[in-house]
A and B are shown apart, each in its own frame.
Chain A
Amino acid sequence: DGGITQSPKYLFRKEGQNVTLSCEQNLNHDAMYWYRQDPGQGLRLIYYSQIVNDFQKGDIAEGYSVSREKKESFPLTVTSAQKNPTAFYLCASSIRTEEETQYFGPGTRLLVL
């Protein structure tokens, strides 16, 4: 089955701790994305990557970092600099960035202890 997997489903972060959210796709898509979803605010773009070893900041990149060392993987690190990390994080991919449908993973809910 082709698709996007995200892990873990729930993640807890302590104050001052960095945590990494996993996103893997086996769709052979070039482009991958990370969104943050807060209640009543829709989706906001954190980072995106059009190709391996390249990525760009989205609208709310501060306090987050990413890497794209492999085509199928796009992990997101929520750093201690992100002061309000509690949210639902969604990873998506598309064949390429321009005018193509995005396909979403099941999401990771991050909670701060």
Chain B
Amino acid sequence: GDSVTQMEGPVTLSEEAFLTINCTYTATGYPSLFWYVQYPGEGLQLLLKATKADDKGSNKGFEATYRKETTSFHLEKGSVQVSDSAVYFCALNTGNQFYFGTGTSLTVIP
């Protein structure tokens, strides 16, 4: 069935380090792909999305490219800040249902 697998955390980085959070998916058809961010005690906020192969989503310095050949949608940021500390969820929408990964907790230390 359709699913999303993302790298397990927690991830701890120093400020200004490079971030990669891996996400791969399994889906029939052509899903849309998403990254959501969740700050402590809050709901999920859309970070970025891509709706077709080779599309790059970007927002607030974060980027992810929809790679159909590797079924991946890895999240990257060149220089993380303390304020980026949160849980990040990869998700896909097949048109019938959303599927979320288990989340990756990121802590950025000064």
Q: Do A and B bind each other?
A: yes
Which A residues contact B (CB, under 8 angstroms)? Answer: 4, 6, 33, 40-43, 45, 48, 58, 90, 92, 97-107
Nearest A-chain residue to B43, judged by Cβ: A104
Is B25 engaged at the interface, CB distance under 8 Å to the other chain? Answer: no
Nearest B-chain residue to A58, judged by Cβ: B97
Contacts of A58 in B (CB 8 A): 97
| Number of chain B residues close to chain A: CB under 8 A | 21
27 interchain pairs, CB-CB under 8 A: A4-B43, A6-B43, A33-B98, A40-B103, A42-B102, A42-B103, A43-B89, A43-B100, A45-B98, A48-B97, A90-B43, A92-B43, A92-B44, A97-B95, A97-B96, A99-B51, A99-B93, A100-B93, A101-B46, A102-B93, A102-B98, A104-B36, A104-B43, A105-B43, A106-B42, A106-B43, A107-B43
